[in-house]
Structures are given as C-alpha cells and as structure tokens.
C-alpha cells in the first residue's frame, strides 16, 4: 500500500512539483494526497491543483506567535487526510518541539547546502563566503533544531569561481528536484532506518562516485 504524503509549502512549490511528478509513476511507493500552505497566496497551491492534487491554505498569520494553536489546526487536516509522511517544501514556519516529536522519523525537509555546513538563511551566500569548492543539497529528518536532523540523502555540485548566490542556488535546485523524490522513495518503501542520530539505508549499494573540484589538469 502506498504511503500517504502531505507536502507543506509557503511559496512557489518548486520541490513540491518535483515530488508530485515523481509520485505520479505507478511504481512510486507514495502518493501525494494533499498540499497545505500557511499562506493563501502561495503560488504552489494553484500549481498543485493543476496537477490534480487537493490543496488547502491554513493561514498562520492570524495565530501570531501561538504555534501550538496553528499546529492543532494543521494536525486536524493531516488526520483528515490520514497522512503517513510529511515533506516540507519551502515551509517558512517553525514548529514546536511537541509537533516535531509527534512526526519524528516521518517528516522530511530539504535544505540547499551540504549539512551540517551552512544551515539557516542564505546557505549559498554562506558557502561562497567560506570559499568551499563543493556545495549541494541535503534531505534530512526534521528535529526541533533548524536544519539539523538525521541526514537521509545528499547531492553535490561544483562551486564555480564566478558563482553568485543566485547562480549557485539555480544549480543546486536542479539537484534538489532529483534528490527529494529519491529520498521519499527510500523512506516510503521502508529502506531507511534510524540508529540514534544516524540514518542508514537498508540493503543500499555502496557508491564509489567521486566529485573533485576544481578539476586538475
């Protein structure tokens, strides 16, 4: 039976669209049953509906700093749709520790850096200021600390000397669109296990892929 997934968004829903497209495949082990935004003007809502996925807005602004009250309404919507897994796709609202604990091991997020490096805002700018030669994206399980949960999957890109935060973000976004569906597939098919703070892939093949940047010679 396919796992039932909710995608939470706040904006255009770029990663949401990649997940919906991947889940449309008959052999994909999860189905996207609802998209929920905390902003009624989020562009991703209409995009989801155009793909045939129910999309609803639960405005967070009226709740102010009362995160628990907002989460109670959100949880009701998740219960209504019998959700098994949550994917955060640019969801710009912090959760309480209680909500995160309820969904521990079942809520995923994607971040445009190779965590634990460069969490938080402007990760591409952080990477360029640090002078790293490789950056990328990380899918991780959500814990109360921001961008800090067990790492599930990562993808890398070479950083160019003439990169700006915008050009680096564009290339990383291409990786995100490949990475997130693959990560969801692993979780939904039961191939992921958590050992403390470490995430391991059951029966996963070892990879010898190497990325060196800048290339010599």
Going from N- to C-terminal start, the domains of the chain cover 3-197
- In this structure, are strands 55-57 and 85-89 parallel, antiparallel, or unpaired? unpaired
Q: What is the mean pLDDT of residues 57-72?
A: 96
Residue 111 among the catalytic residues: yes
Looking at the predicted structure, is the pLDDT value of residue 30 above 80? yes
Looking at the predicted structure, is the pLDDT value of residue 17 above 90? yes
Confidence grade of residue 46 (pLDDT, cut at 50, 70, 90): very high
- Look at residue 204 in the predicted model and tell me its pLDDT: 60
* Annotated active-site residue in 81, 111, 140, 177: 111
pTM attached to this predicted model? 0.94
What token pair was written down for 198? 């470490």
- Look at residue 55 in the predicted model and tell me its pLDDT: 98
Rounded CA separation 23/43 (Å): 20
What token pair was written down for 44? 């991703």
Alpha helices per DSSP H over 65-188: 67-80, 97-102, 123-130, 165-188
Q: Domain 3-197 belongs to what topology?
A: Rossmann fold (3.40.50)
Contact 113, 146 (CB under 8 A): no
Give the chain's mean pLDDT: 95
Q: What is the mean pLDDT of residues 46-64?
A: 97
- Look at residue 72 in the predicted model and tell me its pLDDT: 98
């Amino acid at each position: 039976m396919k796992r039932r997934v909710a995608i939470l968004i706040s904006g255009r829903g770029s990663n949401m669209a990649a997940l919906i497209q991947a889940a449309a495949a008959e052999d994909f082990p999860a189905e996207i049953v609802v998209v929920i935004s905390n902003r009624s003007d989020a562009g991703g809502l209409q995009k989801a509906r155009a793909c045939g996925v129910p999309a609803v807005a639960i405005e967070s602004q009226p709740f102010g700093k009362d995160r628990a009250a907002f989460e109670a309404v959100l949880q009701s919507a998740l219960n209504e749709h019998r959700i098994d897994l949550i994917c955060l796709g640019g969801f710009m609202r912090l959760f309480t520790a209680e909500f995160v604990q309820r969904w521990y091991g079942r809520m995923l997020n994607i971040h445009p850096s190779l965590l634990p490096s460069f969490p938080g805002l402007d990760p591409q700018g952080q990477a360029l200021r640090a002078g790293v030669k490789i950056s990328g994206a990380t899918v991780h399980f959500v814990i109360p600390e921001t961008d800090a949960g067990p790492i599930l999957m990562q993808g890398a890109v070479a950083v160019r000397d003439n990169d700006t935060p915008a050009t680096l973000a564009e290339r990383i976004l291409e990786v995100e669109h490949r990475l997130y569906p693959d990560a969801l597939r692993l979780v939904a098919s039961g191939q992921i296990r958590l050992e403390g703070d470490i995430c391991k892939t059951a029966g996963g093949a070892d990879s010898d892929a190497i990325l060196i940047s800048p290339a010599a010679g």
